[in-house]
């Protein structure tokens, strides 16, 4: 208790949790007033510049940005750059308790208001299970063992996409379909700092790649010069991997088997949808809800899981595999197929049981949005009203990069 602190001296400070932050830079790119900056170690918020607009909160993939402390003297940038973890909330005593509560309420209200301006705060599907998040951090990661690593694009294709299976052994690492995990590449960068954590969507169902085997799978594309992707794609069976997470509290599969799930993806964005499909196959194989997938790739040999996908029955998953670079054929993107199946989609969009999930290239987001608006226009639906409604009720989810 600090009897010298007067309630009027207290203020809220916006901070980033360095243990959870994966250093993706989204917050810095989003901040309209340049309050977020970084060095080689941490992302930090300048208390003199932050105007609490909350623009950075929703885009952050881990939630590390959504941290607040009530302070008398703001933590400086130098303080924050030196942190390995957030400091505890200081106790200002009973005299200041009402002020602390009021400030906390104000932060909550600002968050609500900010989200309402951007089409609604991301909300988990009503029937999704409650996710567990942020159990393992960069300073306290889980150790997994590689159980599998094989290529899931054709050998004659130009992209090397791999299916990686990680076992957690005796460690409890709960995940839900739609969540991600962080992989910590070993070693140091040239400047002596640790490598950044990279986030990957889980491609297996909650009960494991193999049922009840306490393992999970990832879909990883090797990218030229990419530290994490090359490290993961080169992993050998039996090697140990440092893992953080799990992450993600809204892009989650609805449990209700009567929900229709429209899944729109490109490339490795298909990972969560492999998880969704496997979950429904295991938990509710005769579900009344429809699952429909629009999956874009350059060609069949570049489409991850092309072979296994052929074996998934249409009764479980209605598949629209679309290709942009087939010789002698016009380019087709997922949004083109959405337009050409307008009637089918309009049927689904008219139902309150329908959820939309979009995952993959950022570039597809606008195109898909326009295509869905066109579908609605043709069938007396209003996308400009339907989309925010779906988002507010946890039925519209986007994860692009």
Q: Which residues contact 226 (CB under 8 A, 6 or more apart)?
A: none
Kindly tell me which residue out of 58, 334, 338, 356 binds ligand A2P, with binding defined by CB under 6 A.
Answer: 334
Report in angstroms how near the CB of residue 399 gets to ligand A2P at its nearest.
Answer: 15
Stretch that binds ligand A2P, among 2-10, 184-192, 362-370, 373-381 (CB under 6 A): 362-370
Residue placing its CB nearer to ligand A2P in the complex, 118 or 324: 324
Closer Cβ to ligand A2P, 61 or 360, answer by number: 360
Using rule CB under 6 A, residue 361 touches ligand A2P? yes
Shortest distance in whole angstroms from residue 296 CB to ligand A2P = 4
Where helices occur in 26-142 by DSSP H, the ranges are: 26-30, 77-81, 97-117
Is 324 a binding residue for ligand A2P by CB under 6 A? The answer is yes
Report the helix count and the strand count for the chain, using DSSP H and E.
10, 15
263 forms part of the interface with ligand A2P (CB under 6 A): no
For residue 295, give the nearest of 276, 385, 285 by alpha carbon. 276
**Binding residue for ligand A2P, selected from 168, 333, 357, 396, defined by CB under 6 A:** 333
Among candidates 121, 152, 139, 145, which has minimal Cα distance to 250? Answer: 121
Q: Is 153 in the site for ligand A2P (CB under 6 A)?
A: no
Q: Restricting to residues 68-127, which ones interact with ligand A2P according to CB under 6 A?
A: none
364 binds ligand A2P (CB under 6 A): yes
Partnered with residue 271 across adjacent β-strands are: none
296 binds ligand A2P (CB under 6 A): yes
Question: Do the beta carbons of residue 220 and residue 161 sit within 8 Å?
Answer: yes
End-to-end Cα spacing for the chain:
46
CA atoms within 13 A on the CB side of 204: 21
Q: CA torsion angle for 382, 386, 388, 390 (degrees, to 10)?
A: -170
Determine, following the binding rule CB under 6 A, whether residue 367 of this chain makes contact with ligand A2P: yes
Which positions touch ligand A2P (CB under 6 A)? 159, 266-267, 296-298, 302, 324-325, 333-335, 361, 363-364, 367
């Amino acid at each position: 208790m600090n009897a010298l602190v007067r309630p009027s001296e207290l203020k809220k400070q916006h901070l980033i949790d360095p243990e959870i932050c994966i250093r993706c830079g989204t917050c810095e790119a989003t901040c309209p007033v340049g309050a977020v900056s970084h060095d080689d170690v941490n992302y930090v918020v300048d208390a003199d510049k932050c105007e609490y607009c909350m623009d950075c909160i929703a885009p952050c993939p881990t939630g590390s940005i959504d941290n607040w402390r009530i302070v008398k003297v703001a933590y400086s940038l130098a303080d924050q750059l030196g942190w390995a973890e957030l400091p505890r909330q200081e106790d200002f005593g009973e005299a200041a308790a009402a002020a602390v509560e009021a400030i906390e309420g104000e932060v909550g209200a600002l968050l609500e208001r900010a989200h309402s301006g951007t089409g609604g705060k991301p909300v988990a599907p009503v029937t999704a299970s409650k996710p567990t998040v942020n159990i393992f951090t960069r300073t306290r990661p889980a150790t997994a063992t590689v159980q599998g690593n094989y290529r899931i694009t054709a050998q004659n294709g130009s992209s090397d996409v791999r299916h990686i299976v990680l076992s957690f052994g005796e460690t409890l690492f709960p995940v839900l379909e739609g969540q991600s995990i962080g992989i910590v590449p070993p070693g140091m960068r040239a400047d002596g700092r640790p490598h950044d954590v990279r986030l990957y969507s889980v491609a297996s169902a909650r009960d494991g790649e193999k049922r009840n085997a306490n393992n999970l799978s990832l879909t990883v594309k090797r990218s030229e010069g990419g530290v994490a992707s090359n490290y993961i794609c080169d992993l050998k069976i039996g090697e140990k991997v440092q893992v953080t997470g799990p992450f993600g509290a809204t892009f989650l599969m609805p449990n209700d088997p009567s929900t229709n799930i429209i899944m729109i993806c490109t490339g490795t964005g298909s990972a969560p949808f492999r998880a969704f499909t496997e979950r429904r196959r295991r938990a509710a194989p005769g579900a009344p809800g429809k699952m429909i997938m629009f999956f874009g790739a350059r060609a069949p040999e570049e489409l991850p899981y092309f072979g296994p996908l052929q074996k998934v029955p249409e009764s479980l998953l209605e598949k629209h595999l679309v290709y942009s670079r087939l010789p002698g054929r016009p380019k087709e993107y997922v949004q083109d197929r959405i337009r050409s199946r307008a009637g089918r989609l309009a049927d689904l969009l008219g139902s309150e049981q329908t959820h939309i999930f979009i995952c993959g290239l950022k570039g597809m987001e606008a195109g898909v949005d326009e295509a869905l608006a066109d579908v609605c226009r043709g069938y007396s639906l209003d996308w400009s009203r339907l989309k925010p409604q779906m988002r507010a009720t946890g039925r519209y989810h986007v994860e692009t990069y």
